[in-house]
Amino acid sequence: MTRWGMVIDLKRCVSCYACMIACKQEHFLPPGVFWNRIVVVETGKYPRVRKISIPVLCNHCEAAICVKVCPTGASARREDGVVTVDSHTCEGCRYCVVACPYQQRTYLDDKSKEYFPAQGLTELEAIGGDLYPHTVGAVTKCNFCAERIDEGIKKGLKPGLDREATPACVNMCMVKARHFGDLDDPESAVSVLIRERKGHPLRPEIGSKPSVYYID
Amino acid sequence: MKPYEWMVRYTAQTDWIRGGGLLIWLSFFTGILGSGSYLVSLYFDSAVGTTVSWLIIVVLKGGLHVVDARRPLGLWRMVLRVKTSWIARGMVFTICLAFFGVAQILLAHELPGSSLETAAKAAAGVAAAAVLLYEVFTINYVGGIPLWNSALLPATLISWGIFEGLAVVGVAGSQMDGGRAAEVGNSIMLGVTALLTLLYLWNAAYAGATSKESVKKITTGGLSVMFWIGTVVIGFAASAVILLSGFASEPVGRIMLLVLEAIGCLSFTYAVFRAGLYSPLV
């Protein structure tokens, strides 16, 4: 059974934020809505201060808490492991937003904000409103670019290997810090990386079994 | 907050307390008040109490949910996931209380003392208890907020519900003894609720760094004025003065007691919702 997952190499990440921007552009996300973020932490004391950048996104957990708490079934986990939100079914109760321990969901309460206030929508924003409409009053989050994966598979492409079928953030990373593939395939690039470089999820003690791993 | 500041420090929960989230906080408050009052009114045989409580749960709390929902006509879907979702369970319990409550109120008026009325009373009582449990466990289930995930929170909130319920019966009157027993019960529940609130916050302060930060926010931080004045002074101290002075035997005193306890519960639930913090991601 396919289980899509991601591995992020923290040694390679230079916190350029390109993945965050690529995601925003790919999905025409409104201002204030982020499906991908970079958590920047400083550790140590002068003169041995170290800055750690950790790209975070929805972990598409195997035991997703958001799916359990959703009263309408809008949050659901697909057979391939991708956790999605059906904005038409979502009633906006925000229980999933509150319950997610990784805080990777956003409640969209106002779509009218523009990136350049009082200057109207940019061409990209206007196109996005038609191509990829977001539902006000519903919850939104990373979907591992499910549209790209599904379209790619229909064309016989391999997500993680073929760019057209791979999430935008993975494609955009210029230092190749992100890897995407099938976690249930022991020979996939992601599985090999996790095995050889001791990949670990973020805060495994939560128990939700994330599908996003980090290597450092 | 800048994008690079997100989840680096303790991050407050905002979705259920800011903006439209205020409606959700109020719906939790009315649910606790209404279900606690309904149970107490059933016990003390207060027809006015059960009617008012039913209105609080079904009309006020239900109305708040309808106003908050993205598509009110789609709310029926909220009964689909009773297996795992506390909100779905709560929806079912509230619908049950709506029907059994009406039946109980009507039968208490038309066929008092009949077996049918007793059955309706039992069913409505179970439904009200279930609504109260749904209210507290919906919050308690959130593991990401250590302050909410405490074992003492459900007991504390249930205690607040019963505490306020006794004040409601005090105003509404009861068939049993004109509300005197409710007054005595109120005095006892004041002590129990104050003790549980103290124990809850004390325990939360030892339950981890994030939880301790939440308690600091409530007791000495930005929420301290509201907590100490709203919950402690108005909710507990002023209520104690009214109860101990005997002023609660007067109708005005009972109304004042209800208002003071409601303010206490409002400020306590607001503090718990506002002080809910997530641990830093790394």
Nearest to B13 by CA among B154, B135, B139: B139
pLDDT score recorded for residue A119: 83
Predicted complex ipTM exceeds 0.85: yes
DSSP SS3 for A127: helix
Among A41, A67, A95, select the one facing B282 at the smallest CB separation.
A41
- CA dist list (Å): A60 to A126, B150, B192: 30, 26, 43
pLDDT score recorded for residue A41: 86
Q: How many domains does chain A have?
A: 1
Give the residue ranges of chain B where pLDDT is below 50.
none
Q: How many Å lie between the alpha carbon of A41 and the closest alpha carbon of chain B? A: 7
Selected from 2.30.30.90, 3.10.20.30, 1.20.1630.10, 3.50.50.60, the CATH number assigned to the domain covering B3-278 reads: 1.20.1630.10
Contact, B63 vs B126, CB < 8 A?
A: no
Q: Is B71 on the interface with A (CB under 8 A)?
A: yes
Nearest to A93 by CA among B247, B68, B92, B138: B68
DSSP SS3 for B29: helix
- Got the DSSP string for A2-50? --EEEEEETTT-----HHHHHHHHHHTPPTT--SEEEEEEEES-TTS-E
Q: Is B12 on the interface with A (CB under 8 A)?
A: no
pLDDT tens-place string over residues B244-276: 998 988 889 999 999 999 999 999 999 999 999
Contact, A140 vs A109, CB < 8 A?
A: no
Among A52, A71, A92, select the one facing B81 at the smallest CB separation.
A71
pLDDT score recorded for residue B179: 67
pLDDT in tens, chain A (216 residues): 899 999 999 999 999 999 999 999 999 999 889 999 999 888 889 999 988 899 999 999 999 999 999 999 999 999 999 999 999 999 999 999 999 999 999 999 886 778 888 888 888 888 888 888 889 999 999 999 999 999 999 999 999 999 999 999 999 999 999 999 999 999 999 999 999 999 999 999 999 999 999 998
- Residue range of the domain that includes A111: 4-215
Peptide bond preceding A201: is omega within 30 degrees of 0, i.e. cis? no
pTM (two decimals): 0.92
pLDDT score recorded for residue B260: 96
Beta carbons within 10 angstroms of residue A122's beta carbon: 12
pLDDT score recorded for residue B182: 83
Q: Is A56 on the interface with B (CB under 8 A)?
A: yes
Among A39, A89, A107, select the one facing B281 at the smallest CB separation.
A39
CATH number at residue A151: 3.30.70.20
pLDDT score recorded for residue B175: 62
Contact, A5 vs A181, CB < 8 A?
A: yes
Nearest to B196 by CA among B242, B249, B235: B235
